[in-house]
Structure 1
Amino acid sequence: MNITEFMNQKFPGLELEPPLFYNWDVAIRFELGVDYRKTDGENSVYINNVYIRAITLFKTLHLPEDEIFMVVNVNDFGNRKVFSHRLKVFSKYIKEKHVLYKLQQVTIPYGFPEDVEEEKYKTHRFSLKCKTSDIKYISLLKAICNHDMGFKPSISYDVFFINTTKETIFRVYDDRGSDLLASSPDKISHIYEQYNGWILDYDRELIDEVFK
């Protein structure tokens, strides 16, 4: 099954673009960054706790042999060498180079056409079918969390982990938080219970309605 078939079957009508949480009924939004201070640097308690939460959620959700689509949206504003960026994102965080032969790319409309001249802006979507064990997910998640903090290495693109085995979608949007979606509540009810204390309070009422 390719990614389009999977999304049409399990997440019909859902677009892989932010904000995921508000675009799907069965969803949890987790708070990753807590008690941020302007003085927090690269080795601060704040950022290390962000890493711990992101990595813990990913490991709990994705077993080594789970089938995954790793999807990266690269926005093209007419001045980016998107294919060189593609190589950096995937080659750096995939363990075995032969897995990269499965990498696919499609061009889709830019997600926010009202902000730009639509014909000049577009998005290149790269997707790689692999297993969890193929991904250097610890360093990848840290790079995603680093972006808004200005730390290196960092990744500025939207990265989605679509677990076809568990029927879930996981995305860390930055150091502040992450979204988890599922095809049905029973797929992630154990995550809701186990990490209830990490749920973003702002959206807790909406989330509780789904799982209670």
Structure 2
Amino acid sequence: MLADRFEIILYQLGMERLEHPLFYHASVAIRFKIGGDEPVYLDESTGKLTPNPTYVQSALERAVTIYRSLPAPPDTLRIDGYPDEESAESLLTTIQQRIGLPVPHERIMAVVMDEDGDARSQVQFYWDLSKISFQPEQLLREIILGDIGGWNGFVSSVYLTGPGPFLYHLYDDRGLDVLGGTRELLFPLYHRFHSWILDYDRERINRVFSGTA
């Protein structure tokens, strides 16, 4: 089962469960700055703010470049939704319409605790990427747009995992976490994209990859 595969990956990453922010709950992780220096919004003549296409494209290019540089192609995609806000079928319809995915290979209903400690219903959709034709660009674009004019159901709800193990989590237009089973696995990303590391967490990440953490 894909859900079991995902749980095994979490265990191998040293995590008992998904807990946000993922970066702060993993032993080996890199947090990248994705949003560029351009303004996030453009002020149209009508006074309505719209996403700046230059900003969106720059963020997408970073997210895709890191995705293409992962240790291996991701083989599992998980997208979470919350049917207490919208039915599971409606959520799935929106996901499929926006990113063109087929029917998920697996669907799991769960109860999770929110940040306030309250129980909340959750639906987890899983796709085996080895069995479908999958190009990440549209999905990553939708995540980037989630908080700046798109559908916010993709924000902090999309996870891509693969052998190594690793977990790729673009949480919104601003940032991206990549978690790994070992420092050696992620060192090529750390070295190649060092200038993209989020400054706020740079010292912590440098300690991990220098072996002094």
Give TM class, smaller chain. 0.7 to 0.9
Deviation for aligned residue 1:68: 1.1
- Cα distance change on mapping 1:122 and 1:35 into 2, 3 Å: same
Partner of 2:87: 81
Partner of 2:75: 68
Partner of 1:51: 60
Matches within 5 A, 1:19-34: 19-34=21-36
| Alignment partners' CA distance in 2, 1:62 and 1:154 | 28
SS in structure 1 opposite 2:171?
strand
| Alignment partners' CA distance in 1, 2:19 and 2:89 | 20
Whether the 8 Å CA contact 1:169–1:180 is kept in 2: the answer is: yes
Code of the aligned partner of 2:80: N
Partner of 1:18: 20
User: What are the superposed Cα offsets for residues 103-122 of structure 1, whole Å, 9 maximum, x if unpaired?
Assistant: 21222223316254x2xx21
Deviates more, 1:129-138 or 1:142-151: 129-138
Partner of 2:192: 194
SS in structure 2 opposite 1:131?
helix
Partner of 2:4: 4
Deviation for aligned residue 1:67: 5.3
Aligned-residue Cα RMSD (Å) equals 2.7
| Alignment partners' CA distance in 1, 2:128 and 2:111 | 22
- Cα distance change on mapping 1:22 and 1:204 into 2, 3 Å: same
TM-score (norm 1): 0.81
Whether the 8 Å CA contact 2:81–2:153 is kept in 1: the answer is: no
Partner of 1:160: 159
| Alignment partners' CA distance in 2, 1:39 and 1:169 | 30
| Alignment partners' CA distance in 2, 1:153 and 1:134 | 25
Deviation for aligned residue 1:84: 2.8
Which residue of 171, 175, 178 corresponds with 1:177? 175
Deviation for aligned residue 1:93: 3.5
| Alignment partners' CA distance in 2, 1:208 and 1:187 | 15
| Alignment partners' CA distance in 1, 2:186 and 2:177 | 12
Deviation for aligned residue 1:18: 2.2
- Cα distance change on mapping 1:122 and 1:20 into 2, 3 Å: same
How many residue pairs were aligned? 201
- Cα distance change on mapping 1:33 and 1:181 into 2, 3 Å: same
Gaps of 5+ in 1: none
Task: Give me the identity figure in percent.
Answer: 23
| Alignment partners' CA distance in 2, 1:161 and 1:209 | 26
- Cα distance change on mapping 1:207 and 1:70 into 2, 3 Å: same
